[in-house]
Amino acid sequence: MSDRRRARSQDDGGAGDGVDRTPSSRADVCIVGAGPAGALVAHRLAAAGADVVVLEAGPRFDISRRTEAQERHIRPGMGDPWEMGGPRDAYSTAGREYPLNAARVKGVGGSTLHWQGMVMRLHERDFELATRHGVGTDWPIDYADLRPYYATAERALGVAGAMDNPYAPPREEPFPLPAFPPSYSDSLFAEACERLELDMHSVPNARNPEPYDGRAACQGYGTCKPVCPSGAKYTAESHIEKARAAGARIVDRVPVQRLEHDERGETIEAAVYATPDGTEHRQPAGQFVLACGGVENARLLLLSESDQYPDGLANSSDAVGRFFMDHLFAGAGGRLDEPTRQNHVGFNTSECHQFYDDTGPVEGVKLEFLNYAGPSPVIEALGADTWGDELLDRLRESYGTHVAIGGLVEQLPDAENRITLDPDRRDDHGNPVPNVEWSLSDRTKRAIRRANEIQHAILEELGASIEWTVGPDATGPAFHQMGTTRMGEDPERSVVDADCRTHDLSNLWIVGSSVFPTGGAMNPTLTIAALSLRAATAIEESL
């Protein structure tokens, strides 16, 4: 090997791509994670003139190869389009099974690479759950505090929506983009809901009905989750690129192993990361921001234990990893005696918040009218034992006559639902893997049953024959991991303050859904974005 090639191999950590993965001499801000939270903070601070380094555990995926990623998803047996799995992503569960790898991505863009793209604001009650209902806890901020940042986040992501939701919290201006029109099956549901005196309204989506912010309009591929070939759906790659253009340095394939603090345990001095060949480096900075999700934020703090923090970094409250929450899925579907006149639409266009503050269970319930036409004809055909006209007739009978209603149900915070370290299982760097300890309370199960009752009533009014129900015993998570580094005013009961700065270390900040004290029943990404923009303001003031 020539001296030049040898030096290049050392710089890129053995990846062979020529990317320099050695540390910057010293950065103003080091951000761990290049998902939506990290990307927005990186862009805001870099645009303000800060020297920013972003360390991302996963790779940078080539945007020009999204059609290939779509094919990997569509064709059975071709594997995951986002390279999840193996020792790098190993985990364990205790209690109820939690399939962590079913819907997460390590890479530049994070969860927005595969998300469905629905973006709702939390309701005012979500910030005051203890005060209003005597359960859960209150946030140290209220809706009014976050309201201007919600508006900024909607513009940043490019949210398409309409002001037709009578149950939504107050807002200051229209959505940046017009809402997507309701599907034909939405019109069928609308007739049944009108007779039942139920309100349907549009879904805010972070995808373009028309070109916006350099991204194309939606082309209707129908594979939004897990991949959008057109680029119409927002991904955090957009703000990572804006951060890079503003001077930020983005380093991929460098999982952070631990954070190291000063002798007094008051500030973080460096993030220790590994390159693809296993070499460890220390990245110093003035401020540090954790932005690697509800599971990995907590895991990294627990891995960073020290003499001053024997139970994990920033964990004097014993709250790191605790109060893990997700949204639970409730759903029902069936068949109509008429065609739904649609091909698969990859996202929801109508929903109902009428039962979010229902007088029944305290837990919030959000109903979603699914653009679902039946089982995938591709999968049905590939698994069929017949061919020709007989197969075609079978596909015509099974596809295009189905309807379904989904829903998200709130899970209240519980200290025993938590992320811990598994002492018996290691990842590819020899670190304990995350262990998800998760269970459902009787309260949550009652709320899921309540959602099923409403869904059945709508389907019966529609005249559908109900063929399946996802209730308390069959429910699964929406993969919205929240609550493991909760915010609060009391350092003895929380991990970060209202600005997302840790109580224990003055230069360590945490952004993302892990800081949520409660989860509501709204998809969390818009709140992640709003909180991240709010935290970025505080971080900028501290520089």
> Where are the domains positioned within the chain?
26-158+226-325+414-438+481-543, 160-203+328-409+441-474
Place of tokens 């979603």: 368
Its CATH class, for the domain covering 26-158+226-325+414-438+481-543, is alpha beta
Q: Write the DSSP string, 65-105.
A: GHHHHHHHHHSTTS--TT---SGGG--EEEES---GGGG--
Nearest by Cα to 290 from 57, 540, 26, 126: 57
- What is the rounded distance in angstroms from the CA atom of residue 543 to the CA atom of residue 526? 26
Radius of gyration of the chain from its Cα atoms, rounded to whole angstroms: 23
Q: In the prediction, which pLDDT does 377 show?
A: 66
Would you say 330 and 458 are in contact if contact means Cβ atoms under 8 Å apart? no
Place of tokens 């949210």: 159
- What is the rounded distance in angstroms from the CA atom of residue 345 to the CA atom of residue 349? 9
Nearest by Cα to 322 from 492, 205, 466, 121: 492
Q: In the prediction, which pLDDT does 191 show?
A: 94
What's the CA angle centered on 208, arms 204 and 209, to 5 degrees? 90
Residue 271 dihedral angles phi and psi, to the nearest 5°: -105, 125
Its CATH class, for the domain covering 160-203+328-409+441-474, is alpha beta
Q: In the prediction, which pLDDT does 374 show?
A: 72
Nearest by Cα to 322 from 64, 178, 452, 515: 515
Q: Are strands 432-438 and 418-426 parallel, antiparallel or unpaired?
A: antiparallel
* Amino acid at the residue 461: E
- What is the rounded distance in angstroms from the CA atom of residue 295 to the CA atom of residue 279? 24
Q: In the prediction, which pLDDT does 5 show?
A: 39
Would you say 381 and 392 are in contact if contact means Cβ atoms under 8 Å apart? no
Q: Catalogue the active-site residues.
A: 480
Q: In the prediction, which pLDDT does 342 show?
A: 66
Q: Are strands 432-438 and 508-510 parallel, antiparallel or unpaired?
A: unpaired
Q: In the prediction, which pLDDT does 379 show?
A: 66
Would you say 154 and 175 are in contact if contact means Cβ atoms under 8 Å apart? yes
- Laid out side by side, the sheet with 432-438 consists of 92-95, 432-438, 418-426
Q: In the prediction, which pLDDT does 394 show?
A: 74
Q: In the prediction, which pLDDT does 3 show?
A: 42
Cβ–Cβ contacts within 10 Å for residue 191, how many? 11
Tens-binned pLDDT, residue by residue, of the chain (543 aa): 334 333 444 589 989 999 999 999 989 999 999 999 999 999 999 999 999 999 999 999 999 888 888 888 877 777 788 989 999 999 999 989 999 999 899 999 999 999 999 999 999 999 999 999 999 999 999 999 999 999 999 999 999 999 999 999 999 899 999 999 999 999 999 999 999 999 999 999 999 999 999 999 999 888 888 999 999 999 999 999 999 999 999 999 999 999 999 999 999 999 999 999 999 999 999 999 999 999 999 999 999 999 999 999 999 999 999 999 999 999 999 999 888 876 667 899 999 999 998 656 788 999 999 987 776 666 667 667 778 888 777 777 777 788 999 999 999 999 999 999 999 999 999 999 999 999 999 999 999 999 999 999 999 999 999 999 999 999 999 999 999 999 999 999 999 999 999 999 999 999 999 999 999 999 999 999 999 999 999 999 999
Q: Are strands 508-510 and 249-251 parallel, antiparallel or unpaired?
A: unpaired
Would you say 378 and 441 are in contact if contact means Cβ atoms under 8 Å apart? no
- What is the rounded distance in angstroms from the CA atom of residue 516 to the CA atom of residue 530? 12
Residue 453 dihedral angles phi and psi, to the nearest 5°: -60, -45
